[in-house]
A and B are shown apart, each in its own frame.
Chain A
C-alpha cells in the first residue's frame, strides 16, 4: 500500500470537489489529504490528492476519475521525482523563558515565527509531511495549543513528461 500523490486537473466549476471527493468515498478509495487551487490554465483548477493503495487500486482511481466529465487530466506525481510540500501553523505555549529554546528549534527547521502572543507563539513551517511531523514532535513538550495543516501540494521536478490521457 504505497502512498501516492495524484494531481487532478479539473474544470473550475461548482461541485467538482464534491464529485471527486464523493467518488473516492463511494468507491472505497482512501483520501489522506486533498487540496484545491487554481492552475496555470484559466478555467481549470488543480487538486492534489494523497492516497494509499496498490497499483490496481491506483489504476482504478485514475480511470474512475477520468469518467467524471469535469476531469481533464490525472497524473500520479509520485511515479516520478517530485516536490511535495505542506504548510502547518502551530500555536505553541511559550513563556518568555522558553522562547529562546523554541526559536532554536524553529531556526533549525527553517521555520518562522509569524505571531507572538503574551505566552504563545505561532510557528509556520513548510516542508514535506515528515518534516512537519518532526517539527510537531519537537514542539509538543512546550504544549501545542492549536495546530492546522494544509495538506500536501506537489509537482514533478523539471520538465513535465507527456502524460498518457
Chain B
C-alpha cells in the first residue's frame, strides 16, 4: 500500500503543497477561479450552440405557418398557440395521442421481445455447447451486414400470405424470435465475461440450464439488459420504414408516420403543426432517456471494465 510517507523526493502531495505554499494560496485560487470562469463560459457557449436547434424548435412551435421561410430568427413575430390546437385535433380525425399510444405499445413490446429473446439466444451461444454453434453464430453476425432493403420484399410477401399486414405482428415477431443480431451479440459478449465458475458451482448444486440462466445469469446481466432496452426503445420509437410498409390503416400508424402526414408537398403543408407535433413527440423519448440514463452509463461503463 502506498502511503504519504513513501512519496519520492520531488513528488509533492496535494496536502504538502497546501501546507508549504501558504502565501501562494490566494494566487492559485484566483488563477483557479479564472480558469473555471473561462471554462464555464466556453462550455455555456458550446451548450448554447448544441441546444440552439431545440430552443429554435420550441419557439418555432409558436410561429404561424405563414411565418416559416420568412422569419428564420428565434422569436416569432406573431406568437400563436394555434399550432398546438391543430395538433390536438389530430390528423384524419385521429387524435395525436392515439399515434403516440400506438408507438408506445410497439416500442414497449419491442423492448420486452428483444431483451427476452436476445438474452436467451445469448446464453445459448455463450454457455451451451451444441453442434454448429460457431457456424450459427457467424451466420447471425452475418445478418448484421444485410441491409434492411434486401430482406424487406421477401418478408413483405411472407406476412402478406400469412394475412398479417396492417397488424403489429410483422413489426414485433422478429424481436420476440431473437432476430436482432446486434442485441444477441451484446448479450453473448456480456455473458462470456461472467465467470464460468458461478455456473459450475450452481451445476454442482443440481441446477440445470433454466435455473442457471434465470438465477445466475439474468441478475448479472442487468447492465446489458438496461442498455439493450434503451436502444431498442429509442430505435423502435423512431422507426419509420417498418411501420410505413406494414401498417395501412391510419388509425394504426405510429408517431413518425403521423408526423409526416402534416407535410405533403403536392398540396398544402402545415409547417406550424409539424414543428409542434415534433416537439411533443420528443418528450417521451426524452423522459425515457432521463429516467434510464444513469443505468445506461453504468451499463456501458461496466462493459468497458470487464474482459
- Whether A associates with B in a native complex is no
Please report B residues at the A interface, Cβ cutoff 8 Å: none
Please report A residues at the B interface, Cβ cutoff 8 Å: none
